Amino acid sequence: MSKSAKYIFVTGGVASSLGKGIISASLAKLLQARGYSVTIQKLDPYLNIDPGTLNPYEHGECYVTEDGAETDLDLGHYERFLNIPTSQANNVTTGRIYQSVISKERKGEYLGKTVQVIPHITNEIKEHIQILGNKGDYDFIITEIGGTVGDIESLPFIEAIRQLKWEHHEQVLFIHLTLIPYLAASEELKTKPTQHSVKTLLEYGVQPDILVCRTEHHLNKEIRTKVARFCNVELESVIESIDAETIYDVPLLMQEEKLDEVVLKHLNMPLNSLVDLDKWKEFLHHHKNPIQEVEIGLVGKYVELKDSYKSITEAFIHAGAAKECKVNLKWIASDDLTSESIEEELKGLSGILVAPGFGTRGIEGKIKAVKFARENNIPFLGICLGMQCAVIEYARNVLKLEDAHTVEIKKSAINPVIAMMENQKDISDLGGTMRLGAYACQIKEPSFAYNAYQNTLISERHRHRFEFNNNYLKEFEAKGMKATGINPENNLVEIIEIPKHPWFVGVQFHPEYKSTVINPHPIFLGFVNAAINH
Ligand code: GLN
């Protein structure tokens, strides 16, 4: 283990969805604000190699990194909080660990040995945990262990971190995030589930150093003392995590509770008294005190589960705060949009966003939504599949190309205005095979995109198999839809616009992945601005 890096492991107990990702990101933010370099990693206990093949209903949004890793949505929070990119090394699943061990076994790397969970799987986990630390770039690596303590699936991870603590005692810290439920009938906060959860951890040989306690009501001294005493932690290491109005409050709440100070004390690191959170606080002030509001429709097929579009909703929060404007999202299920219902659903909106996606369901609704935005001069942003729908709509209704479609949905389309990318044609596996990660894009002037970026060369992240069919480009441009962003290497159309429209932009890439608190994304800023002006 590299001597310079400190490792902080965050486990969860009692219940899932307590917000380990937000606590990890908040602690990282506070350490960063004290001048430390920090990164966050997530270990996910499922057998998929990555979440790229998971339906958003299963696991929420799939977040894509600069280096093209398809990852857990928590990595989005890490980037949004810290304003530094993550990478493949920041998200590791059980599937990836097993894949690596099994491929080593086939190569004969363990020749003569029985390959077992302990030590082979746990060693592999330990190696993956240390990849980031060994780079020498970070003072702290915060590793979030997915799942809840006690789950069969996460046992090898817990065993691996137990060993790391045993081997590198002074470099490793354990934080356990737990729940203190409130019983309304007896008006009491209950510590027993936390005691049990810590007991389970102790059975595995892990003694948490710090307990972060999620609660709906403040923890008084008595409760804190009780938790400290029964769970073998110091009183100052019992940290209250009260329900917050927004996730962006959590770093400040953790600061009030001195989580960062307690962590640094445990790890014998200097406090570095300067805590620079000015920009964060300014953002929060604008976010909470908007001077105007707009309503933007988000047309997608997973609108019942808002986590499916996590980065998009957060990007609106960042851009909204920068414009001192509250963006209210109206969630519109694309399957339900019919010629009869569309007027009712979309009228009065200040902007319409058609979301990314895959497959047939809801696509005709998305195309109808584009048409409505185009014909009624409502600011429009289409992302990935949303951009492709804008192209199909224009082809059908303006170019009068009957049967225009994407070959993703209609292989035999007479007018395949969205076609499969050339280098995708021989690929048969679905996992990790799309065009993924950051690619350059040349922006033409004048354009909405240039106005937004104020730059002619940008880089954005991708996740797609299909593209604008350049055979139709001349015809589109002649009829008023322009390609204003082009990949300089292969001419792939990255941005389309209708210059005659007040603000109509379709992007093949995903701007939402790069929006952060400190750097709201130019495309979202442009879109929100257009919505305000509408
Ligand atoms: N399904 C489309 C493609 O693969 C769009 C993907 C997306 O929206 N992320 O090209």
What angle, 0 to 180 degrees and rounded to 10, lies between the N-to-C axes of helices 20-33 and 74-82?
20
> pTM above the 0.85 mark?
yes
Residues sharing a CB contact under 8 Å with residue 228, sequence separation 6 or more, in sequence order: 234, 235, 237, 238
**Which DSSP symbol is given to 366?**
H
**Could you give the angle at the alpha carbon of 331 between the alpha carbons of 327 and 337, nearest 5°?**
135
What angle, 0 to 180 degrees and rounded to 10, lies between the N-to-C axes of helices 259-266 and 20-33?
80
Kindly report the length of the chain.
534
- Other C-beta atoms lying within 10 Å of the C-beta of residue 109: 12
Q: Ligand 1 within 6 A of 366 CB?
A: no
C-alpha pair distances (Å), 32 with each of 26, 35, 496: 10, 5, 38
CA of 385 to the centre of ligand 1 (A): 5
C-alpha pair distances (Å), 479 with each of 106, 288, 399, 500: 58, 43, 7, 11
CA of 56 to the centre of ligand 1 (A): 14
Give residue-wise pLDDT tens across range 432-483.
Answer: 888 999 999 999 999 999 999 999 999 999 999 999 999 999 999 999 999 9
> What distance in Å separates the CA atoms of residue 371 and residue 390, rounded to the nearest whole number?
8
Output the pLDDT for position 428.
Answer: 81
- Consecutive H or E run containing 527: helix 522-533
Output the pLDDT for position 224.
Answer: 97
| Three-state SS at 209 | coil
Output the pLDDT for position 277.
Answer: 94
> What distance in Å separates the CA atoms of residue 466 and residue 224, rounded to the nearest whole number?
55
Q: Ligand 1 within 6 A of 466 CB?
A: yes
CA 272 to chain centre: 30
Q: DSSP string covering 140-159, please?
A: EEEEEE-S-TT-STTHHHHH
Output the pLDDT for position 55.
Answer: 84
- Structure tokens, 115: 């390959």
Ligand 1 pocket: which of 53, 62, 381, 385 to mutate (most atoms within 8 A of CB): 385
> What distance in Å separates the CA atoms of residue 494 and residue 510, rounded to the nearest whole number?
10
Q: Are 216 and 233 in contact (CB under 8 A)?
A: no
Output the pLDDT for position 70.
Answer: 95
Nearest to 277 by CA among 307, 248, 236: 248
Per-residue pLDDT of the chain (534 residues; tens, 9 = 90+): 666 899 999 999 988 889 999 999 999 999 999 999 999 999 999 999 988 888 888 888 999 999 999 999 999 999 999 999 999 999 999 999 999 999 999 999 998 999 999 999 999 999 999 999 998 899 999 999 999 999 999 999 999 999 999 999 999 999 999 999 999 999 999 999 999 999 999 999 999 999 999 999 999 999 999 999 999 999 999 999 999 999 999 999 999 999 999 999 999 999 987 788 999 999 999 999 999 999 999 999 988 788 899 999 999 999 999 999 999 999 999 998 999 999 999 999 999 999 999 999 999 999 999 999 999 999 999 999 999 999 999 999 999 998 999 999 999 999 999 998 888 888 888 888 889 999 999 999 999 999 999 999 999 999 999 999 999 999 999 999 999 999 999 999 999 999 999 999 999 999 999 999 999 999 999 999 999 999
Looking at the DSSP bridge assignments, the partners of residue 404 are 415
Output the pLDDT for position 430.
Answer: 85
Residues sharing a CB contact under 8 Å with residue 193, sequence separation 6 or more, in sequence order: 13, 14, 178, 179, 180, 181
Start-to-end CA distance of the chain, whole Å, equals 56
Q: Ligand 1 within 6 A of 358 CB?
A: yes
Output the pLDDT for position 223.
Answer: 96
If you take atom 6 of ligand 1, which residue's CA is the nearest one?
Answer: 464
- Other C-beta atoms lying within 10 Å of the C-beta of residue 27: 28
Output the pLDDT for position 307.
Answer: 87
**Which DSSP symbol is given to 216?**
S
> What distance in Å separates the CA atoms of residue 327 and residue 515, rounded to the nearest whole number?
15
Active-site residue, 231 included: no
Ligand 1 pocket: which of 383, 463, 469 to mutate (most atoms within 8 A of CB): 463
Active-site residue, 293 included: no
CA of 356 to the centre of ligand 1 (A): 6
Residue 326 backbone dihedrals phi, psi, to 5 degrees: -90, 120
Q: Which of 62, 213, 325, 384 does the annotation list as catalytic?
A: 384
Q: Ligand 1 within 6 A of 453 CB?
A: no
> What distance in Å separates the CA atoms of residue 159 and residue 296, rounded to the nearest whole number?
47
Output the pLDDT for position 4.
Answer: 81
- Structure tokens, 461: 């992240």
Active-site residue, 245 included: no
Q: DSSP string covering 160-194, please?
A: HHHHHHHHSGGGEEEEEEEE--EETTTTEE--HHH
Q: Ligand 1 within 6 A of 464 CB?
A: yes
Output the pLDDT for position 181.
Answer: 96
Nearest to 371 by CA among 350, 343, 344: 343
Give residue-wise pLDDT tens across range 85-114.
Answer: 999 999 999 999 999 999 999 999 998 999
CA of 460 to the centre of ligand 1 (A): 15
If you take atom 5 of ligand 1, which residue's CA is the nearest one?
Answer: 385
Residue appearing with tokens 């379709």: 506
Q: Taking all residues of the chain, what is their mean pLDDT, rounded to a whole number?
A: 95
